[in-house]
Chains A and B, each alone.
Chain A
Amino acid sequence: MSGTRPPGGTAPRTGYDGVAVCAPVTVPYRRYSIRSAHWFCGQALAGLLARAGIGKDEVDGFCVSSFTLEPDSAVGLMQHLGVSPRWLDHVPMGGASGAVALRRAARAVQAGDAEIVACIGADTNHVDSFRRTIATFSQFANDAVYPYGSGGPNASFAFLTDHYMHSHGAEREDFGRLCIAQRRNAAALPHAMLRRPLTMEAYLTARLIADPLRLFDCVMPCAGAEAFLVMSTERARALDLPHAAILSTMERHNAFPDDPIQVRGGWAREVDSFYDMAGLGPGDMDLVQAYDDYPVICFMQLEDLGFCARGEAPALVRERDLTTAGDFPFNTCGGQLSAGQAGAAGGFLGLVETLRQLTDEVLGTAVEGARHGLVSCFGMITYDRGLCSSAAILGRSGA
């Protein structure tokens, strides 16, 4: 592995004391919708206001992530929603947007630039919109990926999976174990796209999509939204809102440009300072949510974030129980592989689920006694690798 770069920043980081995350909101997913992304954002905002018992004007900050708002950005959305925020951010980081939105919003609240920030990840899915999204995803993808078989992310992750399997001797069954456990976690989630139990046989014999990937290795694009509020702990208490604390966050983009093929993400560069900030280690996590559009990227996150050594994720999923009742609760709402990938909302799913688990607002099955949750996000394969990595550790309030 060439070009190992020095670890992340060395200056001491300020914590997120006094900042609360609350009001997990999900606009139920559907396979296709004739509604626009604006509509899903609006439904998410309405959900946040209802949950917090506040009026539209009390939200003075917005952080939005969406692929399908075009030709609008978060700016045009403000007019659609009829709001006048004094702090506005658009995070175009797809799957990495959840933890990034959180850390941006937290700093704004901490500094007093905004009092209540609504973080929203939302996308619609029209019959042809997924094809349009991947056909014009980035300049590099337009020029150097889409004209090659037009397989979209399936082909990109097929490369990463193929390479991982042959570098570490991973078997199809290893990925299957992860998918099957996540499906069990989704059984109780009412709006999950896929809730029926998945058998190993069904996993192994499903339709080939892009070798070695088969159908159940690939997320199903859908429409939906995920959202949460960031405000001061004081304000959350005043609103009587259950909330979680932010113990650490990180982001890193284009982390290892000299690796000939992606074998790790930005987490590998930040992992030490990430855990140092929280004063916790991987063993302290009661649940883990990792970005899961394809199982191989879960393996890389588990390795980069110190849950096992490089190449040992297959052993981890063999030895540990990844269900909500198990000894390593992982993607506890079933992840995107079961719930579906509602575009940029997929980058918020893990964060909103972690928040639900730590504030006892679970839609599916709760992890008993969870105090610390780690959420890891990943996004934006603009050419041959995902560029954006982010993560956060949330703690039960008072934990």
Chain B
Amino acid sequence: MTGPVGPPRRKDPTRRTRLPVTPPGNRSREAHGLAAMAAAGRFALQCCRRCGHVHYPPRQLCERCLDGELEWRDVADGGRVLAETTVRHANDLYFRERLPWKLGLVGSDAGPSIVAHLAEGCERGRRVRLALHLDRAGNAVVAASPERDASRDDPRLREMVFDPRGRRVLVVDGTTGLGRHLVEAFLASGAREVFAGFSRPWNRSPDLAALRGREGVSVYPLDVTDTDAVEKLAALIGDKVEILVNNSSHVRMGGALDRLDFNITRQEMEIHYHGLLRLAGYFGPVMRARGADGPYGAVAWVNMFSAWSLVNNPELGTYSASQAAALSLSHCMRAELAAGGVRVVNVFAGPLDDEWHQLVPPPKLDPATVAARVVRGLERGLEDIAVGAVAEEIAHRLAENPKEIERSIRL
């Protein structure tokens, strides 16, 4: 794997599709702390609460003062390559199929020496920027890139991010306000083709009309509550989808006691939970099988969730509950898709500034902002993307005290 990846090429149907294998996934409990940092795009290492000593690899106590409490802190992400090698013989199948593979021992500015994947341009003696990424098995790894002008086409780094460039993307509900912006953001990021699903053929949306003529975009009917429709579309384009974005959403106000309306709650579950299940069942297996299908193989499944999937907002109580159900299902899918090296990315967005959030007070999000953040997150390889002040605050407060937010989240 040297030199930039070339442009995507038409697949030769006579050639066998390479089966996905994943890099070694045996990690300690402590090391999974790195995954939490990688998922959110942070470069954080364990620091001693008492003496501040920075540690790597992860462990349970301070090597300097033996204090038993280490905490994850953001640290300087610079470093210098002390030594480098190009591995040309690997004992693991994943790397064996991707040789040669460049590695370095990097003296980090934060302190520890770190074995890291090296992007092109990171030679011995050079300054580099370190980042935590999730590898194809979904585990955290450290990668070093040149301080300036890191290439998006580096073959090793591409293994650790979900870059849309050159890939084909299905946006479920691609003709909503947010869907339309997602389509544009993917095109701007260099997606090879975008498939936009639309669920309401009776709705003469100007967004739908605009997308129909858009170059690089094709529009398909796709109602996630209709099993046959999902199956039909999967049969048509399922083997071409390398990034799937589930943007289906059904926002209705109301809680459990004052609005006993099972039509609404059934619809919420049909769209958020069963809809995701249908997509998973028909698109998931093909994507999982195509995880190693060349440099542009299937790479990510993106769920557009509300931040209230993380904690129930009683004003949108049943909506939050159905989002939480879907969020739980996404964790199941993450484990299942991992076998193919396909990662599940969950986006937690604050309320959008649209008609369905009319009664929700600001701050509300411009769909264009959300779309840009999602695509940028995929380019960086983030697993959890919190968009907007509301979502970020919910994440922080949940980490700090879930009982507090449970009691005070009302609008």
Q: Measuring CB to CB, which residues of chain A are less than 8 angstroms from any residue of chain B?
A: 130-131, 134-136, 139-140, 142-152, 154-155, 158-160, 162-163, 166, 207-213, 257, 260-261, 383-384
Contact = CB atoms under 8 A, between A and B. Distances in A.
A147 B85 contact: no
Interface string B78-108: 0000111111111110110000010111010
Interface string B18-31: 00000111111011
Nearest to B106: A260
A226 to B, nearest CB: 25
Given A136-B26, A148-B141, A154 B89 contact: yes
Contact of B87 (A140, A147, A151, A212): A151
A162 B23 CA distance: 25
A149 B100 CA distance: 9
Contacts, number: 126
Given A143-B58, A159-B85, A211-B86, A150 B24 contact: yes
Given A144-B115, A384-B105, A210 B92 contact: no
Interface string B388-400: 0000000000000
Contacts of A134: 91
Contacts of B92: 131, 135, 146, 150
Given A150-B91, A162-B83, A210-B86, A261 B26 contact: no
A159 B83 contact: yes
Of B90, B124, B139, the most chain A CB neighbours within 10 A belong to B90
User: Closest 8 A-B residue pairs measured CB to CB?
Assistant: A158-B85, A150-B92, A144-B57, A143-B31, A159-B83, A149-B87, A151-B87, A163-B83
A260 B107 contact: yes
A300 to B, nearest CB: 14
B71 interface: no
Given A142-B26, A142-B28, A159-B83, A150 B88 contact: no
Contacts of B124: 162-163, 166
Contacts of B139: 147
Interface of B: 23-28, 30-31, 56-59, 63, 82-92, 94-95, 101, 103-105, 107, 113-117, 124, 135, 137, 139, 141-142
30 contacts: A134-B91, A135-B91, A140-B57, A142-B31, A143-B27, A143-B28, A144-B114, A147-B24, A147-B139, A147-B141, A148-B103, A148-B116, A148-B117, A149-B101, A149-B103, A150-B23, A151-B85, A151-B89, A152-B91, A158-B83, A158-B85, A159-B103, A159-B105, A210-B89, A211-B84, A212-B85, A213-B85, A257-B63, A260-B107, A260-B113
A135 B83 contact: no
Contacts of A130: 91
B30 A143 contact: yes
Contacts of A257: 63
Nearest to B30: A143
B82 A163 contact: yes
Given A143-B58, A144-B31, A144-B56, A135 B24 contact: yes
Of B57, B84, B95, B101, the most chain A CB neighbours within 10 A belong to B57
Of B88, B114, B124, B142, the most chain A CB neighbours within 10 A belong to B88
Nearest to B26: A142
Of A134, A139, A143, A160, the most chain B CB neighbours within 10 A belong to A143
A159 B107 CA distance: 12
A183 B86 CA distance: 27
Given A139-B28, A142-B28, A147 B135 contact: yes
Contact of B103 (A142, A155, A166, A260): A155
A152 B87 CA distance: 10
A291 B107 CA distance: 27
A141 to B, nearest CB: 9
A148 B88 CA distance: 12
Given A154-B89, A209-B88, A147 B83 contact: no
Contacts of A143: 27-28, 30-31, 57-58
Contacts of A158: 83, 85, 87
A185 B31 CA distance: 45
Contact of A384 (B25, B58, B59, B115): B115
Given A136-B26, A261-B82, 12 more contacts: A135-B91, A139-B59, A143-B28, A146-B26, A148-B141, A150-B92, A151-B90, A155-B85, A159-B104, A162-B85, A210-B86, A210-B87
